Amino acid sequence: MQGRFPGASVGNLDTYGLLPDIANERARINALESFSLMYGPPAGKDVIADALSRAGSDALVGADALRTAPEQYSSTIEYADNPLSKNLKSAAQVMSANLGTRIFYTRYGSFDTHSNELQTHAKLWKDVSSAVGDFVDDLKEHEMYDDTIVFIYSEFGRRIKDNGTGCDHGSGGVALILGGQVNGGCYGELPSLVEAHQSEGDLSFNNDFRCSYATLLERWLELDPDPIVNGHFEQFEFITK
């Protein structure tokens, strides 16, 4: 996909911000003022300087806004103790602060299991299940579930045939979609595991992942998907909106 938009990459929302390690408040204020001057409006028409100025200003404004999210957040949900749960809790905090952010992204893994696949997947999927379950409960508690789509996907699939204790990279996979305005069900056909129906040992996928992207972009975010996914793709009926 392609496009231009400002975004913040946050590791720990509780300590997020510009120069958070400066304990002395006056010293931190002075440092932030210097930062603001450094990235202030540039003189002239220097394209690179203008881009750097906008990036610095956006970072300063975004950091100030995001720092308020944990302070405004209150929930009875106790998230599980794993990195994905922590990231989804941070997303819930920003969502409940109503800062206007429309897209949140996090990742978890690694599911790149060339070995010890059964043991590794058992732990990973337990974490995913508990994290997403807590996140959904939190959204419902804050009456945000009907206004949210949770899209879970992998960037690549695994081969059908194992290589001993794992699987190598393959084509085909699955995406999971949750939300208060989601039509439940299976979209697309379940690929056959029969060897004659495989694609050189891989699942023969039957829809393009950009179909799901296009559906979310147009039917949820109300955007024209074609220039973003670089083409026109069939859309599914998994959104009731």
pLDDT tens digits, the chain, 241 residues: what are they?
455 555 666 666 766 666 566 666 666 666 656 656 665 665 555 655 565 556 555 655 566 667 778 888 999 999 999 999 999 999 999 999 998 889 999 999 899 999 999 999 999 999 999 999 999 999 999 999 999 999 999 878 899 888 889 999 988 888 999 999 999 999 988 888 898 998 888 888 888 999 999 999 999 999 999 999 999 999 999 998 7
Q: Are residues 123 and 211 in the same domain?
A: yes
Query: What DSSP character marks residue 41?
Result: P
Residue 240 lies in a domain: no
Q: Are residues 148 and 211 in the same domain?
A: yes
Residue 89, CA distances (Å) to 64, 140, 174 in order: 19, 13, 24
Beta bridge partners of 179: 149
Q: How many CB atoms lie within 10 A of CB 193?
A: 9
Q: What is the pLDDT of residue 173?
A: 84
Q: Pick from 131, 132, 113: which is nearest to 121 by CA? A: 113
Query: What DSSP character marks residue 9?
Result: -
Q: What is the pLDDT of residue 156?
A: 83
Residue 238 lies in a domain: no
Domain count, the chain: 2
Residue 164 lies in a domain: yes
Q: Are residues 113 and 225 in the same domain?
A: yes
Q: Are residues 41 and 140 in the same domain?
A: no
Q: Are residues 98 and 31 in the same domain?
A: no
Q: Are residues 185 and 120 in the same domain?
A: yes
Q: Which two tokens stand for residue 170?
A: 């393959």
Please give the model's pTM, rounded to 2 decimal places. 0.79
The rounded distance, in Å, linking the Cα atoms of 51 and 48 is 5
The rounded distance, in Å, linking the Cα atoms of 156 and 166 is 15
Q: Are residues 132 and 167 in the same domain?
A: yes
Residue 202 lies in a domain: yes
For residue 168, how far is the Cα from the chain centroid? 25
Q: Are residues 94 and 127 in the same domain?
A: yes
Q: What is the pLDDT of residue 85?
A: 97
Residue 186 lies in a domain: yes
Residue 96 lies in a domain: yes
Q: What is the pLDDT of residue 200?
A: 86
CB 121 within 8 A of CB 113: yes
Q: Are residues 100 and 191 in the same domain?
A: yes
Q: What is the pLDDT of residue 131?
A: 98
The rounded distance, in Å, linking the Cα atoms of 59 and 16 is 11
Strands (DSSP E) along 11-102, which ranges?
none
Residue 43's domain comprises: 17-66
Residue 24 lies in a domain: yes
Beta bridge partners of 158: 169
Q: Are residues 146 and 213 in the same domain?
A: yes
Q: Are residues 125 and 205 in the same domain?
A: yes
Q: Are residues 109 and 168 in the same domain?
A: yes
Residue 7 lies in a domain: no
The rounded distance, in Å, linking the Cα atoms of 146 and 140 is 8
